[in-house]
Structure 1
């Protein structure tokens, strides 16, 4: 037993160090913000925070309500009813997840431009000749941001809620019908209350993604807290002010997570796993085609329209003999390199954390707390993480410079800051929750008897992982690698703030193209991100349909 504990010590140490590394940016941010001058706080409270906080709260409320309505409605539609194209829609409703919010905003700003294709077609239909005579409302507004973000982010609610609806037993709905409830009453009084925990989880993810967004909000003219952090640091060179705004954002994140957990703390559902699931009711004739139209609309707005428009722009450029520029190809190569580096590191650390939890025989509360700390980064917006990470990295740089001076080397130059290493570190902290959660779930499905058998055959802790568990964890490792790689490719806020000089990824390239108003080459970068984003969506769709097969 003592030998086993000694062998487990490196894994537990790695978990503790990981938790400290994830916690360090948050603690550094809080410390710097609290130590900031009172003049900064007075200025922020008087001129900056009221408007930014109000716009952020309105955006969160609007996106939360609309995304919840779209996600819950779509989930109930494909679960409770049978209509044309239902099987296709059951996975197609996930497609907007492949398109980052800033790409949708980028595409729709051109699609809905006063001289864009939509408004030109509307004016031609109504008999108007120019934008001066008639134009649609400008999408650069708070309502425009609410609508576009909702049609991209609703799949988070759809994904969690549909799984809950599909697991509900048919006899519960039949009992509601016997008590006199119609289809709407049964949904409202039985299915919806049972699905509240799943809705809360999906809605919390929607709100966190909305708070993390910077590209779409800035493109659409909404001055959120995240956008304010970026402009305060980059445009005004006010790092102290940016840290203080980031602390407000972090407080808002904490409130969101606390509200989500409080809302479902007493909600439990216990049912018979062998009970028959809800049987879809056939919608004949016009009702069926209306259901198809309702299901197709979110997919058209959230995925098909922006993806088709980007594809048309890219083909137009390529068809005109203008291929991708060398700078864009270099940005693509840098994107793949830093994303692959972050993926390898994240998988290695995630495996350490998950395996440590598996082999720790006692102290379950401590084990659970460590595991939660390592996944804290995903809840922190990218801009907040970048600013919090800056202070520990500066301290490390000063220590390395002093060490080089002590041993007679040139103390000038940066090792982490201003290099891709800092960017990869931000990706690691932000996306560590993906492999930790996936690998812990995979290990939980492996019965403890396999560990006992391996020990009886003479395997130690390291050999048991290498020879027994790693082969069983290959699907979880592959899924984690795919999700981390694609999320790192799409990450914009942290990349904008921590990238080195003259270092572009596809996301920052697109951001710069949109800022300049040049859409043709930006469309190629956007299309590459969308194509990569389709891979995890296909994986999710297969996993979602598996229980039903």
Structure 2
């Protein structure tokens, strides 16, 4: 294979993919060369401190919420026997299919002063003072209900790997069940919990739709307002660079958790029986979480869709579904090819340069969509200005290429994990045996690699496609004129308080999101 300067052509392509992630970050940092003092003075006098305080409040609140829900459910599912455990252990993953912004506007409708819950409470208790449906705590509750599966999945794997012998030794030494859990089981599962918690926090920082519904200002909403409200892309870039500080902390926690991921001890898993009253209490708790996070919002959406009939299900709605599906298919196919190439080069040309480039190329998932959108827009605008100097006019910033690039950078890591795991299933001995029998390179790929990798490739395609279809900030900021999607339409309707009209596109997204969740549950 051709080499230039000690790096092969395939290695150079991996470095180029890594630059797709690095360049938007460098562009955001370079935005500080031009200070927008008037804008920043206005932000400092009005919202900057509130943005920082709200972001920290959200991170701490969601960290507590997802930890309590995820760890409790994981421990109960992995170690205890209770009624309904066989179906609840996969059913509690269903909230992964629920976009946070959909659950947000459903809860606001249900909990509003004129909503059904407070109205019914006032009918029973006329002196009921009421409460605000847009209190910051409801933002924490919403994000916690949607994001706890990240902690649940990794914590459950950690608890299942521990076995019962270690806990029994702690009990022999005089520790009670609760003390043995906190002294033995929880510390051993800490790496997986930390990794899941970091993923949940990164999703919290990237959220735009839910905080917009609750009118809760964070850096993501400030970036959008600076771009579309103040028409100041430079200030939006500087705000996005500040958001990167919070992202880097979450990313550091996730990497730290992975480095310590071998903390647990393998052992035979045994399910413990508990008292019937306590067992039924666990069942009620797990079902209550599932009801609040998935069954209740889906029921409300179905109620609205049935109540409004076919109103709104016109040609425009069909075109929204088509554009959403088209973007998801285009981006997922491209990302799958790039992820497969990264995994292939990493396996067949292992080196520090390639490994480091692959790590950089898969860091995009840690970047919020709003941050990527600003970085890509600034980059494309600079390229357009440079081409104009040479008399070449190519509209890049407002085209479909900018949006697809944002999807590639953000979701390449989502596809890389399943693809790399699938490639590892193909042992080198199988390839060598096929070559020995006279198979060509194309035959080896068609008859050895493809059949063994197909489940992983299919999983990656589903995960990326659904993530692209649900992505709101990047799509909202970078979409070309006329390329509205279901997520964009949901934002437009919820911004106007049109909950019932937003039900049909919301339910469509939820049903689409169920596909990868069911596939993952069956594979597990």
TM-score higher than 0.5 here? yes
Query: How far 1:487 moved relative to its partner?
Result: 0.4
In 2, the alpha carbon distance for the partners of 1:113 and 1:359 equals 58
For structure 2, list consecutive stretches of 5 or more residues without a partner in the other structure: none
Aligned residue runs from structure 1 range 19-418, under 5 A: 19-126=18-125, 128=126, 134-262=128-256, 265=259, 268-269=262-263, 271-272=265-266, 275-277=267-269, 279-318=270-309, 321-360=310-349, 362-363=350-351, 365-398=352-385, 405=391, 411=393, 414=395, 416-418=396-398
Q: Which of the residues 508, 517, 520 maps onto 2:488?
A: 508
- 1:460–1:30 Cα change, 3 Å: farther
Query: How far 1:26 moved relative to its partner?
Result: 1.2
Q: Which deviations, in whole Å up to 9, do the C-alpha atoms of 1:196-233 show, x marking residues without a partner?
A: 00100110011011100011111112111111111111
Aligned length: 523
In 1, the alpha carbon distance for the partners of 2:238 and 2:213 equals 24
In 1, the alpha carbon distance for the partners of 2:339 and 2:312 equals 39
Secondary structure of 1:201's aligned partner? helix
Q: CA RMSD in A?
A: 2.4
Q: Which of the residues 464, 487, 493 maps onto 2:467?
A: 487
In 1, the alpha carbon distance for the partners of 2:314 and 2:241 equals 40
Q: Which moved more, 1:152-161 or 1:24-33?
A: 24-33
Q: Which deviations, in whole Å up to 9, do the C-alpha atoms of 1:376-412 show, x marking residues without a partner?
A: 1100001000000112222343455567x46xxxx3x
Secondary structure of 2:502's aligned partner? helix
Verify the 8 A CA contact 1:34 1:244 in the aligned structure 2.
no
In 1, the alpha carbon distance for the partners of 2:318 and 2:501 equals 11
For structure 1, list consecutive stretches of 5 or more residues without a partner in the other structure: 545-549
Verify the 8 A CA contact 2:199 2:250 in the aligned structure 1.
no
TM-score scaled by structure 2?
0.94
Query: How far 1:142 moved relative to its partner?
Result: 1.2
- 1:82–1:538 Cα change, 3 Å: same
In 2, the alpha carbon distance for the partners of 1:386 and 1:73 equals 37
TM-score scaled by structure 1?
0.90
In 2, the alpha carbon distance for the partners of 1:34 and 1:58 equals 30
Secondary structure of 1:435's aligned partner? helix
Q: Name the structure 2 match of 1:547.
A: none
Q: Name the structure 2 match of 1:435.
A: 415
Query: How far 1:457 moved relative to its partner?
Result: 5.2
Secondary structure of 1:195's aligned partner? helix
Q: Which deviations, in whole Å up to 9, do the C-alpha atoms of 1:151-197 show, x marking residues without a partner?
A: 11111110110011111122111111111122111211111000000
